[in-house]
Structure 1
């Protein structure tokens, strides 16, 4: 009887300890220092504990970290493309010594495991970014997470797993590598094609996976990622419902769905190779690589970050050593005259190939336009329409930013009354000064406190947007970091319109309605934005307004015109 492929490195490293040992570790945890994991580190810990990151037995030590950056290998010699590290603050690093144990806790404080610290060091994150992402610029979301979410110091060592993170959803779809391998053996599958995705699947995806599986004599593991992915991706509950819907249209005994608890780095070629290793550990023999695999900007207005097919080429360079075969994702088109999908280069010359890109699909959903029946099963389209209602029915946030005195609050109040007059959505005004008094009264005006204040506003606005309302935010919001965080958060649930009120500093100082600039210039007040604290202009706002020679009502009409043009107020003037 054919055997399943061996795990990477020869054996699955299941790091979960026995119940008795777990009980002992919990009893000793009261004397251990605690490390609170970020969301991404929590997913890494889960993959470590279930053996998906085999042969790793814990978070990397400095030797493995340096080898991965320098030579794409672990210190033992096996290929490994991306560091799996645990970050901590400088304050905690000063209190930890190699040789001691630390408790690994989720964001709510629940202990998931214990790690014996073997190594502690301060990494060169810029070098890490350049090696892993091929850039250290904050345009790349992976770089942003590395710099802003990861601790300044790293600690490494073997992990003893006490409990997997608790998932109350889709429990039957969360098989571990061991459980997946047992299932494959039970049903007799030994050649398995993994298709890993972070977006909903449609008929073209079904056609390409079935065609590839048929050519190599394999069955299919649909293995979508359910951890953090790229900003703008559809939330995963909607995605899973789409996967469940399209799975029903596959021929019987062809494919199975399993969820992968992974936090994507969006690292292109290196990430594709890491995903190939993970899927080998799940028992797969083949791994499908898309043209822009793990690229942060596919299906967006921006061009792809990594060269097309670079991920496929990278995985193919190492597939023999890793032990899993790369399968290209071939572009399929619908041939209406034949009523079927064909590879693009196989389309007869007298026929018309039809295709719909992910970007075009999103546009049609946002503007309530038709989606052709050949593109996707109706159950998938219905789910997507629930997830992406037309813009005229979505909640949205208008986020003003600009110097004090620029005119933000006045514009916000005018829009607030206009939306109340329209009456088609609930409206909330989150003015900067009002929020300071009621939501952030304990905060000062340090850079970190200003950041916290702005992302608190963003959280409230995201809840309003999620529930179909309009949030109007009018803080100064001087830092691009805070505004980017809010854009990514709120865009998951509806529209996000950043309005940069670009009134020059000298005009704002002439107005000085609150007397801030006078106090700053006299030395009686420190930390005033524009005087002794920087203001970072937005990089790509939806609307830019200079109120120097513009009446407030006129400026408000500029914003309303944008909302009408883009479909948030009534049907779009044109669906661009």
Structure 2
């Protein structure tokens, strides 16, 4: 049976067409706050239950509890604070406000709490560092000085060019039931697939009924693969190498925090809400640079025996010339001189130079897809 939503209920914070038209028609009567794209995406994830049990942005009580205990104030596991920051507000607690993105009202918010916060404390708790070179820390220090907590109602979604690949938790749960999948393992990715990814995914699939490949679409670092390249690469991989009755592909919009261990828990919670029972946790999951140890994201799951989704720790794959296949350190008896590790940096360098990677590192069909794009990487 697919997993229960985190916190016991799948949140839906959308409104009817009539309510939307009425609120938008009265928009000039509400105080307005402009939000960035990442916050607008967080809004959608709240409204469609990806962040269940959150009904809105964190109030001060929940904010402090998440920072200090990695749990909401009701003791539900939660590791990443989902926040709305604002300039000195022209509204008070109890007001309803409208949130705008790119000139469009995207949500109405019922203000429950307005509070100040310490940016350095936030960065240290969530990222384990206050180094301004860390992309998450950099984002925190660019935030406004006030946080606003309260429930939201989604009015409009921001444009989604990959809408046909987007499934909400209510939809994936139906899909999994229709396919008869009682156990489902999720794999999050922000890269095109190489044979190491394929090995890990299929190794996990041997233990469950279904595999849910869930690429993250959204803001990425320079050098990352573009969203459309990732999708097309997985399409061709699914066409030729995946069992159609045991694997499915759907995207989620999400702005990476690069918070390492804490974000690994957050990613697991998101897939639990999609209905997954298992989650593949990668080496240095959600990491960046050298801020986290390679297996810190595995260790943190020991602190959450009540998480409600089973982490799967599958060791990093490499190609062994003696074994003549993809293996990992647990199953391969041969020395390092026989091993060829898969380096994302090396693969990018080869692709940029127009060199096709060896077939044991990347499927030829995947390379052909990448090569069909004039600019496959974020600049």
Give the TM-score, by structure 1 length.
Answer: 0.63
Looking at structure 2, the residues matched to 61 and 190 of structure 1 have their Cα atoms a distance apart, in angstroms, of: 36
Please state how far the C-alpha of 1:358 moved relative to its aligned partner: 0.6
Query: Alignment partner for residue 330 of structure 1, among 315, 320, 339?
Result: 315
- Structure 1 residue 35 displacement after superposition: 1.3
The DSSP-based 3-state class of the residue aligned with 2:303 is helix
Q: Deviations over 1:292-323 (max 9, x none)?
A: 100123xxxxxx320111011112431x3110
Q: Does 1:247 align with 2:238?
A: yes
For 1:339 and 1:374, how far apart are their aligned partners in 2? 9
Answer yes or no: is 1:296 the counterpart of 2:282.
Answer: no
TM-score (norm 2): 0.94
> Contact conserved, 1:230 with 1:266, CA < 8 A, in 2?
no
Work out the CA distance in 2 between the residues paired with 1:259 and 1:155. 29
Q: Distance in 2 between matches of 1:23 and 1:366?
A: 49
Secondary structure at the counterpart of residue 118 of structure 1: strand
CA change 1:88–1:105 in 2 (3 A) is: same
Do structure 1's residue 347 and structure 2's residue 332 form an aligned pair? Answer: yes
Inter-partner Cα distance in structure 2 for 1:71 and 1:345: 34
Q: Which of these residues, 116, 131, 140, is aligned with residue 122 of structure 1?
A: 116
Aligned residues between the structures: 377
The structural deviation recorded for 1:231 is 4.0
Is the 1:230–1:296 contact (alpha carbons within 8 Å) kept by the matching residues of 2?
Answer: no
Q: CA RMSD in A?
A: 1.9
Structure 2 CA distance, aligned partners of 1:314 and 1:337? 35
Q: Distance in 1 between matches of 2:25 and 2:188?
A: 40
Please name the residue that 1:10 is paired with.
Answer: 8
- Hey, what does 1:356 align to over in structure 2? 342
The residue number in structure 2 matching 1:269 is: 261
Report the 3-state secondary structure (helix = DSSP H, G, I; strand = E; otherwise coil) of the residue aligned with 2:6. coil
Deviations 1:354-399 (A, max 9, x none): 332111112222333441112112221123334577xxxxxxxxxx
Tell me if 1:207 matches 2:199.
Answer: yes
Q: State the 1:72 CA deviation.
A: 1.1
Which residue of structure 2 aligns with residue 153 of structure 1? 146
* Contact map agreement 1:288 1:327 (CA 8 A) in 2: yes
Contact 1:202/1:375 (CA < 8 Å) preserved in 2? yes
The 2-side partners of 1:230 and 1:190 are apart by 36
What per-residue deviation string (whole Å, max 9, x for no partner) do you get for residues 395-430 of structure 1? xxxxxxxxxxxxxxxxxxxxxxxxxxxxxxxxxxxx
Matches within 5 A, 1:26-175: 26-90=24-88, 93=89, 95-106=90-101, 108-148=102-142, 150-167=143-160, 169-175=161-167
Structure 1 position 345, deviation (Å): 3.7
Residue by residue, what CA displacement relative to the aligned partner does 1:137-186 show, whole Å, maximum 9, x if unpaired?
111011111112x222111111111223231x232210000011011111
* Bigger Rg over Cα: 1
Structure 2 Cα separation of the partners of residues 345 and 154 of structure 1: 47
Partner in structure 2 of residue 499 of structure 1 = none
Specify which structure has the bigger relative contact order, considering alpha-carbon pairs within 8 angstroms and separated by 6 or more residues: 2
Instruction: Give unpaired runs (5+ residues) of structure 1.
Output: 298-303, 390-465, 467-490, 494-576
Q: Which whole-Å CA distance do the structure 2 matches of 1:359 and 1:24 have between them?
A: 52
Where in structure 2 are the equivalents of 1:558-569 lying within 5 Å? none
Gaps of 5+ in 2: none
Displacement, 1:197? 1.1
Of the three residues 363, 370, 376, the one matched with 1:377 is: 363
Greater mean deviation of Cα atoms: 57-66 or 28-37: 28-37
1:186 pairs with 2:72: no
Within 2, Cα distance between the matches of 1:261 and 1:375? Answer: 28
What is the alpha-carbon distance in structure 2 between the residues aligned to residue 326 and residue 287 of structure 1? 5
Q: Counterparts of 1:124 and 1:60 in 2: how far apart (Å)?
A: 15
